[in-house]
A and B are shown apart, each in its own frame.
Chain A
Amino acid sequence: MSARIGIVTFPGSLDDRDAARAVRLGGAEPVALWHDDAVLKSVDAVFLPGGFSYGDYLRCGAIARFSEVMGVVREAASRGMPVLGVCNGFQVLCESHLLPGALVRNAHLRYRNRPARMRVESVDTAWTNEYAPGAEVVFPAKHGEGRYVADEATLDRLEANGQVVFRYLDNPNGAMRDIAGIANEAGNVVGLMPHPEHAVEALTGPSTDGLGIVASVLAARPASRTFDQPV
């Protein structure tokens, strides 16, 4: 049976269908999760897609953090379930304190959509283990609030622990230390701003490098573990 990857739809999620397509093309089964239901439907991993969760007129992801689904996602993540947050999903993970630091307005103050060239800095995560160490990948980056910031001590710790997962080669937003994506200490929770789900078909994307994300989580799935909440 193929792995079941839950894709959360908040009311303002935009890339949820695209995430489902990427999961399908990557050989897993996409499972729709709803923001207002505290259930994970026995999924093996969770994908928080891009968009504007609840409109994000406050801070991006600030309200999503309190949603029903994020309660169970937080709990499952603490037990080791792989969780990926892309763009708005990354913002939600930071607001939920599943990842350190914050994503603030781009340094140039504008929304910018460009293919982002990045280096895979860590392959010791649930979402990147199938990439070659130091591999260069291209995913579309498209956001107005994607500049990663954290205090120096946090940044140093992330670097030292190998928690910097993706680093921009042409920093599009002024992110500190060119950070595009990070992981938690355990490596099961990863957040990044550029969109791997928009790099899964040569016809529509700048590359097909995004398929490696799904391949990685499939490889990472421990056969014997279930991450669903206890009944």
Chain B
Amino acid sequence: MTRQLLDTVGVADATPDEKQPYAELGLADDEYARIRDILGRRPTQAELAMYSIMWSEHCSYKSSKVHLRQFGQKNPKTPRLLAGIGENAGVVAIDEHLAVTFKVESHNHPSFVEPKQGAATGVGGIIRDIIAMGARPIAVMDSLRFGELSHPDTARVLPGVVEGVGHYGNCVGLPNIGGETLFDPCYQGNPLVNALSVGVLPRERLQSMQASGVGNVVILLGAKTGRDGIGGVSVLASATFTEDDDSDSRPSVQVGDPFTEKLLIEACLELFDAGLVVGIQDLGGAGLTCALSETAAAGDGGMHVALERVPLRAEGMEPHDILASESQERMLAIVAPANVEQVLARARRWGLLATAIGEVTDTGRLVVDYHGQTVVDVPPASLADEGPVYHRPLSEPNDLALIAVDRAETLPRPATDEEIRRTVLDMAASPNLCDKSWITEQYDSSVFGNTVLGTPHDAGVVRLDERTGVGIAISLDGNGRYARLDPYTGAQLALAEAYRNVAVTGATPIAVTDCLNFGSPEDPHVMWQFERAVTGIADGCQKLGIPVTGGNVSFYNQTGREAIHPTPVIGVLGVIDDVSRRIPLGFGQTGDTIAMIGTTGEELSGSEWAWATHRHLGGVPPKVDFDHEMKLADLLSRLAGTEQLAAAHDLSEGGLAQALVEAICHSEMGANILLPEGADPFTYLFSESTGRVLIVIPRGQELAVRGACEQRGLPITPLGVVDASTDGLHLRDHFDIGRAELEGAWKGRIAAHLGE
């Protein structure tokens, strides 16, 4: 393999007219012109690679930035927020000692190409964001969306994704405490894999990504750098090599090594605790390019790197390959010279590679040398912060007005008791509502011994401190169908549901993270959906008084011209002062009262019933009432851990019918239900009116709970009693479904579809 001369800054100066493959790298003419402007010359190949990555949609948020600003503008001020948007992950104070950091991120496209490694490295990536804030990761969660469960390709993608999420999380030692798995044909060619991680830190251990302190040393920690994930930059390879056999388009999906990630966690935490690092940054998308430019831009503004020091695991890598590589399990630490030996020694103890590759300077330039020749010399902020900003055109989809009048409320309904009974069972067996334990059993849920509630509860609850009992609750929710009908309301419904799911455990919601999965931003209809969804979330959070602390935008989720449903996935974090007060799912004791808080309207558009039984998507989604949600959360947090409440369960997809099925299957009790007088059983069972919770009140406490509801203006309706001698569900005057039949419908569906 012979190489051309290295494309150094000197060469670039001397050959201003050299043709460069910027268009192939995704840069527009004016973007390339701007790079030349910034540098006062043409970029070197390494610089071109760096700009093309950092100015990509994925890294620069160039299409979304103008809309995401709303979060900053509308976020309620809270003293809890220690680090917010723009950091690796938001950090929220829990009490005077502890803080929590959490974030959700997508890994959609890699998970379609190579399901196991795509999903695994998605989990790995979000964990490193958590470490970078100074936190010990303590749990993960995942929100997954696939095409039809019956589609042959789902049998390839789903088991692979689940294996990847499980393998990485299990090996790195993090409990998976919840999430969701949903199916819709719109995700057939573009599944969604959104991974959330949460970590805990003593407040004073909060880390920054600043490369400050002239003379401080830049240390690369973790795995060797290989050709993984180089992706688009590989076009430079063909431009670089004259006579090569290396026209190598190796898979651009990265391969994960959770063992090395585990070592990274332990080693980094030791370094933080010993006060040995000035700044820390993870290497994720855009690898070294991103980490070097972001840390330099956030710090004193200058950095010098000797690129040949980076340990490589592939031969023949060019500077631009090394800079663009997305090899996993790497972190960048900024360390005072006096501490370098200690840092290297501690890394060695964990069997982790650590290499000094450069130092902080005051030149205001990021300078990268390769064997003494300068291949990069740029102002770091031009990469990290000053990427292009687009004001893309927005336009409401043409079909939305038509869809809005095609209401599910007009669809034919089951009329007889026997038909309604059949519908309860069919719905319980449908892909979106059926038992997901085939998936969740592949995840460790108890490592660390702090998981107080995991799947199938409405939210995961984790203890942070054994001494005080303080803990957190997290839920991750989205509904693409609602958002397709109305992205503003759909996003708010996801927010309201995640908020309520947290509240149902007795925790108080305090912060939000979001993963915004959309089609191509170049499509004005998609951009309109995006703008509406972001506005919905920002407005909703403002009303709820909880800030968006960070998240991720994933565009280009489409197959050909067909975009996925707009799918904002919302994670809500709550705090509970003592996890022993958590409210479980289930049914309490015989004689306990089953009641519903909230109001059931005739809201079937976008519902699971309309989809599962009619393949219908039309009308307008249910209304959201944030005032009501806040009152409900307040009530639940007051009742949590008292003798007045035995269990609670959120009503969402599938309505009351599904909530009853889940509560019955999760307990050993039966439910003896009498619907309110005059209630239409079908509407009552399947409407998806929001803001509703099923609660179980111990005998003798009904009046007190009713009083607490009335005091807050929350409507409460008694529905029946818990009864050990009732077999499954007894709906008085209508029908019975025995436990065996209920469980037979609800359980085992995923395995059956996958042929296991």
| Interface, chain A (partner B; CB < 8 A) | 11-12, 14-15, 17-18, 21-22, 36, 50-52, 54-57, 108, 110-114, 140, 142, 144, 195, 197-198, 200-201, 203-205
Q: Which residue on chain B has the smallest CB distance to residue A201?
A: B449
Q: How far is the CA of A51 from the CA of B265 in the complex (A)?
A: 15
Contact between A205 and B448, CB atoms less than 8 A apart? no
Task: Count chain A CB atoms within 10 A of each CB in B257, B263, B442 and give the residue with the most.
Answer: B442
Chain A contact residues: helix, strand, loop or mixed: loop
**Set A55, A57, A113: member contacting B444, Cβ < 8 A:** A113
The 4 closest A-B CB pairs, nearest first, are A55-B259, A14-B173, A18-B449, A198-B446
B442 contacts which of A51, A111, A204 (Cβ < 8 Å)? Answer: A111
**Are the CB atoms of A113 and B580 closer together than 8 Å?**
no
| Contacting residue for A113 out of B266, B349, B445, CB 8 A | B445
**Shortest distance from the beta carbon of A130 to any chain B beta carbon, whole Å:** 21
User: From B438, which residue of chain A is reached at the shortest CB distance?
Assistant: A110
- 24 residue pairs A–B, Cβ–Cβ below 8 Å: A11-B262, A11-B263, A12-B263, A14-B173, A14-B262, A17-B448, A17-B449, A52-B258, A52-B259, A54-B259, A55-B259, A110-B441, A111-B442, A112-B441, A113-B445, A114-B441, A142-B170, A198-B449, A204-B446, A204-B451, A204-B452, A204-B463, A205-B446, A205-B449
Asked whether A140 lies within 8 Å of B446 as measured between CB atoms, the reply is: yes
CA gap between A142 and B443 in the complex, in Å: 8
Between A14, A15, A22, A114, the greatest number of chain B beta carbons within 10 A of the residue's beta carbon is seen for A14
**In the complex, A140 Cα to B601 Cα: how many Å?**
42
Q: Are B449 and A21 in contact (CB under 8 A)?
A: yes
Least CB distance, B44 to chain A, in whole angstroms: 38
Contact B446 A111 (CB under 8 A): no
Whole-angstrom CA separation of A114 from B173 in the bound complex: 17
Q: Name the residue on A nearest B450 (C-beta).
A: A204
**How far in angstroms is the closest Cβ of chain B from A190?**
21
Q: Which residues 240-285 in B have Cβ within 8 Å of A in the complex?
A: 257-260, 262-263, 266
**With A12-B171, A12-B262, A111-B166 as contacts: A18 and B441 at CB distance below 8 Å:** no
The contact size tier of chain B is 20 to 34
- A-facing mask of B424-455, CB < 8 A → 1, else 0? 00000000000000001111111111111000
Q: How long is the Cα–Cα vector from A114 to B257 in the complex, in angstroms?
A: 25
A residues in contact with B466, CB < 8 Å = 21
Q: Is B735 an interface residue (CB 8 A)?
A: no
Q: Does B351 contact A (CB under 8 A)?
A: yes
B390: chain A residues at CB < 8 Å are: none
- B444–A142 CB distance below 8 A: yes
Which residues on A sit within 8 Å (CB–CB) of B167? Answer: 111
Q: Mark B442-477, 1 if CB is under 8 A from A, else 0.
A: 111111111110000000000100100000000000
| Known A11-B259, A51-B173; 15 more pairs at CB < 8 Å | A11-B266, A17-B449, A36-B349, A50-B447, A111-B166, A113-B443, A140-B446, A142-B444, A142-B446, A195-B446, A198-B447, A198-B449, A203-B452, A203-B580, A204-B450
A12 to chain B: which residues have CB within 8 Å? Answer: 171, 259, 262-263
Min Cβ gap A172→B in Å is 9
Q: Would you call B171 and A52 a contact (CB within 8 A)?
A: yes
Q: 8 Å CB contacts to A: which residues of B15-59?
A: none
| Chain B residue nearest to A57 in the complex (CB) | B259
Q: How far is the CB of B738 from chain A (nearest CB, A)?
A: 22
Contacts of A22 in B (CB 8 A): 449
For the complex formed, measure the closest distance between the CB of B466 and the CB atoms of chain A, giving whole angstroms: 8
Q: Could you say which residues of chain B place their CB within 8 Å of the CB of A142? A: 170, 444-446
**Which residues from chain B contact A18 at a C-beta distance below 8 Å?**
447-449
Cα A144 to Cα B449 in complex, Å, equals: 20
Complex CA gap A21/B446 in Å reads 13
Which chain B residues border A17 with CB–CB below 8 Å?
448-449
Cβ-defined contact, A14 with B449, below 8 A: no
Q: At the interface, yes or no: B218 with Cβ under 8 Å from chain A?
A: no
B119 to chain A, nearest CB (A): 14
Contact B350 A11 (CB under 8 A): yes
> A112's closest neighbor in chain B, by CB?
B441
Taking CB atoms, residues of chain A closer than 8 Å to B451 are 204
B261 → A minimal CB distance (Å): 10
Interface string of B725-756 (1 = CB under 8 A from A): 00000000000000000000000000000001
Q: Tell me, yes or no, whether B198 is within 8 Å of chain A by CB.
A: no
Question: A140's closest neighbor in chain B, by CB?
Answer: B446
Chain A's closest residue to B440 (CB) is A113
Min Cβ gap B615→A in Å is 32
Closest Cβ neighbor of A202 among chain B residues = B580
Q: Does B579 contact A (CB under 8 A)?
A: yes
Distance A223 CA – B463 CA, assembled complex (angstroms): 37
**CA A145 – CA B442 in complex, angstroms?**
12
B259 touching A113, Cβ below 8 Å: no
- Most A CB contacts (10 A, CB to CB) among B173, B263, B463 go to B173
Within 8 A of A (CB), among B557-591: 579-580
User: Residues 334-366 of chain B: 1 if any A CB is under 8 Å from the residue's CB, otherwise 0?
Assistant: 000000000000000111000000000000000
Query: In the bound complex, how far is the Cα of B162 from the Cα of A177, in angstroms?
Result: 30
**What residues of B have a CB within 8 angstroms of the CB of A11 in the complex?**
259, 262-263, 266, 350-351
Taking CB as reference atom, which chain A residue is nearest B263? A11
Q: Are A110 and B442 in contact (CB under 8 A)?
A: yes
Across the two chains, which residue of chain A brings its CB closest to B174? A14
- Chain B residues whose C-beta falls within 8 Å of the C-beta of A36 in the assembled complex: 349
Which residues of chain B are near A54, meaning CB under 8 Å?
Answer: 259
Which B350-405 residues have C-beta < 8 A from chain A?
350-351
Distance from B488 Cβ to chain A, minimum over Cβ atoms (Å) = 39
Which residues of the partner chain B approach A197 to less than 8 Å between Cβ atoms? 449
| Chain A residues, Cβ within 8 Å of B580 | 203
Q: Please name the residue on chain A nearest to B349 by beta carbon.
A: A36
Contact, CB under 8 Å: B447 / A15: yes
Residue of B nearest to A172 (CB): B441
- For A199, the closest partner residue in chain B by CB is B446
Residues of A within 8 A of B262 (CB): 11-12, 14, 52
Chain A nearest CB: distance from B555 CB in Å? Answer: 33
Closest chain A residue to B469, Cβ basis: A203
Complex Cα distance, B446 from A18, in Å, reads: 10
Q: How far is the CA of A114 from the CA of B579 in the complex (A)?
A: 23
Minimal Cβ-Cβ distance residue in B for A206? B446
In whole Å, how far is B116's beta carbon from the nearest beta carbon of chain A? 12
* Residues on A with beta carbons closer than 8 Å to the beta carbon of B447: 14-15, 18, 50, 198
User: Given A110-B442, A113-B441, A204 and B259 touching (CB < 8 A)?
Assistant: no
Which residue on A lies nearest to B579, using beta carbons? A203
Q: Which of B155-173 contact A (CB under 8 A)?
A: 163, 166-167, 170-171, 173
